[in-house]
Every structure is written in C-alpha cells, then in structure tokens.
Amino acid sequence: MQFGDNINDKKMIENAGLGIAMGQSTPVIREIADYITENNDNEGVKKAIEKFC
C-alpha cells in the first residue's frame, strides 16, 4: 500500500500492490490510483489504513 498526491509519486503508485491517491491529488494520480481516500486534513491516510488493514 502506497499513498501519493502529486506527479512525483506516479511510479510509486503504479508499482504498489494498492496505490492510494489522497483527496487533494492531481488528476494524473487520481486516474492511476486503485483507490482515492480523503485529503490530509480529513485523515485520509488513517481512513484508508482502517479500510484496508
């Protein structure tokens, strides 16, 4: 499971078993992610971890 929100995270999201885009992600990252969680201010990482783990 990998989290990302910007173009510099593209390879990481593509190669992850589960690529998760943050709510504030760029359109490119949202397009390639397996799942889109909420943004940082709304505990997006925590919510995705709870959902998948």
Domain count, the chain: 1
Task: Give the mean pLDDT per block of 10 residues along the chain (53 residues).
Answer: 98 98 97 97 97 96
Query: What is the per-residue pLDDT for 7?
Result: 97
Give the CATH number for residue 33: 3.40.50.1000
Assign 3-class secondary structure to 1-53.
Answer: CEEECCHHHHHHHHHCCCEEECCCCCHHHHHHCCEECCCHHHCHHHHHHHHHC
pLDDT value, residue 18: 98
CB distance 10 to 19 below 8 Å: no
Determine the structural domain holding residue 44 and report its residue range. Answer: 2-52
What is the pTM (predicted TM-score) of this model? 0.93
